Amino acid sequence: MRRWLWLAPAALGAGAATLIMVILPPDRTLDNPFEALWKVSPLVFAVLAVAGFPRRPGLGMALMCALVVGYMGVLDTINVLHIFSFAESADQTAAFPELYQFMLFMNSFTVLAVLFAYRLGGARSDRVLKVGIASVLIVISGLNDLSMWLLGDWPEGRPATLKWASHIAVFVGGPPSVAVAVIFFAVHLVLAGIVLALPVRRWLDRLLPAAA
């Protein structure tokens, strides 16, 4: 029974991702912390699924090949089409949320592909869980917002606040200043370090004896 437990979070993650990416209209900004948690839930569910995925060398090779083919043959093409559609749009402000949402999906796919390879390469469930949750914390830490502020082309000078970082704004009460964004990132970095240090294997052994 335990070997099939990964299917539950996989189904939940697939359902949530379908709602966000296909059914609900794309939304560039977050309005409250609960929406932020909802948007990141597919990635968390996927981490749980990958951590419990069975390790079989032949199956792993086939699935990794499928991931590469799927990325280059489907996701990369869809991403390029989104970019072309945005570039040709008469109203780029209205078109940007759809492009931005798919870019976030691509980021999540990349994180999960690396995590999946780590699992299929022999990593135990507890290590995959720790690395996966720590990766989620880095994804939502605002690191890419800070790098955008630092590396972006700002003709009028770098802005005093990161107005586009709504996932930070919903937790701090408004568009974060650079200092607040740095603190937000540092807190998530510390949390990621704490997660990596947790005795997850011991907890899994108690919850699921003989966990892989």
Taking the C-alpha atoms of residue 212 and residue 198, their distance in angstroms, rounded to an integer, is: 17
CA-based end-to-end distance of the chain: 13
Question: In sequence order, which ranges of the chain are alpha helices (DSSP H)?
Answer: 7-18, 33-52, 57-70, 76-88, 92-120, 125-139, 143-151, 166-172, 178-197, 200-207
Q: What is the pTM of this model?
A: 0.89
Tens-digit pLDDT profile for the chain (212 aa)?
467 789 999 999 999 999 999 999 988 888 899 999 999 999 999 999 999 998 876 777 788 888 889 889 999 999 999 999 999 998 888 889 899 999 999 999 999 999 998 998 889 999 999 999 999 999 999 999 999 999 998 988 999 999 999 999 999 999 999 999 999 999 999 999 999 999 999 988 888 765 44
